[in-house]
Structure 1
């Protein structure tokens, strides 16, 4: 408690009263920190544009220990990630990643691995790496880092170590991993995927970041995203808000120009 400092990323905010703003940061040293930025919405605020979503900076805050909200004293921009916000697809995918961090973590629960993943993912999206692919790689590694790793070496239902080869595989997001065909039958939490998707999940855990985000995933990218959406929805109790925006952007992009 007292005056603290840490590198941090803005992962959310909302207005408070006439001139203040409640800002959620994910910090390297302290995990998720929520605080009040006084007069942040005034024209001549000392924060200026520093509190934009995704901004990476140096946060100085005061924690009295008597409230869930700290007092935000300073936030000096290190990297604004403007380019992430300049495109709807990049914006949507980055917002999905930020929401995952915001809703899957507890206040003041430090996790340097998740912080590093988020910063690396934002850098990749800004560098024009396909944002959907970045989001999938981030999602896989984020849920792993937070202790929700899906098991892929054996059926989580019956324990069979060697799953039968075939055109279809299943992942039970409630059970925590792959299931065989028999255990998938009648299981509402079993997500049907191609066997290659399970293999892709294993590879994404082993490859370095550049290889994982640089390679083509094909059908596995879509299916892994569906698995992640189902897993995260179960963990937080509802579908993520950003996922709806991502789907709307994707649908709009698929409509021929002359049809709009």
Structure 2
């Protein structure tokens, strides 16, 4: 932990889904949360504010930030905002990202560039700026959210740009794990399978979610809390000897 009494955790993509579930899971007295979401529109701000309010009810100190991490300088600015608000940074969860169905035949340069900017490049920017603060912490942890699409390839479910970006993210995380290990900082990836949003699938998407459940050996898709539990463990002292790993939470999807 840092020298301060607070455990400071930065979570990107915290307005919904896994990021919001993780914020709620970590929220407690002595935990400060910097919660980020990409959009600054009214609906996005309201969702993030609701997550922050719920965490504060559990005893956490919360701050919120907005910005598209795919844009140059935004990742560094987010870390700077965290340090300005709390004075330290102990743990970083790079959760923001997206999944886009796209075949290789239909892949265009802009889509590929956008996916890399939003995921591996943003991760690199966050870690680079956060490194000095993490090295000062006695409980420094970094977790990046990957995806099963970087490990499971099907012609009927193509994710050309997303899969490439997530694979690059995993590679960067392993590089970071090797470079930061001498400073006691662990870096790991979590690769979810099909995961529901906060309120479950919309009725028009019910057939797609049913197919996803059928493809998953355990017979159901994950809730965000299922993934948040593993991330919370990787952030804990109990996981101090785990680094450089990609851990799947996918119900057996990538068997």
| TM-score, normalised relative to structure 2 | 0.23
Specify which structure has the bigger relative contact order, considering alpha-carbon pairs within 8 angstroms and separated by 6 or more residues. 2
User: Higher Cα Rg: structure 1 or 2?
Assistant: 1
Pick the structure with more strand per residue: 1
Structure with the bigger percentage of helix:
2
Q: How high is the TM-score relative to the length of structure 1?
A: 0.23
